[in-house]
Amino acid sequence: QVTIVQTKNLLEAAKLALAQAMNIPYSPNMDVSKVTVDPNPVMYNASVDQVYQNATKNIAAVAAANLHLESAIKGVKANRGNMTPSLSLFYTVYTNYASTSTSSSLLGYSYQLQNNVYTLYNGAQLPIYENSPNYSPSKPVAFGDQLRANVYKTVGLQVNIPILNRLQYRVAYLNSKVLLDQAQFNQKTTMAQLRQAVESNYVLMVQALRLYNTYYQQVQNYEESFREASIKYNAGALASLDFVIYNTNKN
């Protein structure tokens, strides 16, 4: 009973490990299907170069190294562009609104006597009249009218010629070239490590298949030897000790 319980515990632990490896929710009722494996392995139907080229298109580390290299190249171009003169065309539109803005309309003109202001004519003081405009009572200006009436537009060209600028642009450009060298080195290192891994595993595959074929042929030979020994033993032409040795070799 203890052995049965321990075996069940191992089964549940294996199910839990499988669910975590597959990143799926664990369930005690989960079931697995037996994977059918071909008992006769064959050589992988691709060369080392074909495997390597396929890996360069599907390995995330290679894609990351290539993207970092492209980013470094763009960074060098961008920082080099900061060191060259630039010409900018700008166009601005500006308006405003004031809640205290008022307006009035001109109704006409009238003559008004100026106080304490005279002119002399033939020794006599004559009063002076002033032509004064008359306006209607002030009223607030509407929001839309103010925005349309206060529009201010500007268009122009701006030329920027960097001379020193504290050498910031040049320092940034040199730093970007260093980052580019690092990205190129990392990209070459990643590709070299990938090729070495592919070549190493390919050689291991060839060696394993060669060893498997040797062992498989050896098993066939032992089985054939045991079959012949069984015939001899049943016919009384082989001793029991020799028959046991043939059986041991086969197993």
Three-state SS at 34: coil
**Rounded to whole angstroms, how far apart are CA atoms 213 and 195?**
27
pLDDT tens readout for residues 20-76: 999 999 988 888 888 777 767 778 888 899 999 999 999 999 999 999 999 999 999
As averages over each run of 10 residues, the pLDDT of the chain (251 residues) reads 93 92 90 77 85 92 95 94 88 89 82 78 80 83 85 90 78 93 96 94 91 87 84 78 76 70
> Judging by beta carbons within 10 Å of its beta carbon (0-12, 13-18, 19+), is residue 72 exposed, middle or buried?
buried
> Judging by beta carbons within 10 Å of its beta carbon (0-12, 13-18, 19+), is residue 190 exposed, middle or buried?
buried
The pLDDT, as a whole number, for residue 70 is 96
Q: Which helix (H) or strand (E) holds 41?
A: none
Cα angle: 165, vertex 166, 171; to 5 degrees: 100
The pLDDT, as a whole number, for residue 166 is 61
**Rounded to whole angstroms, how far apart are CA atoms 161 and 83?**
8
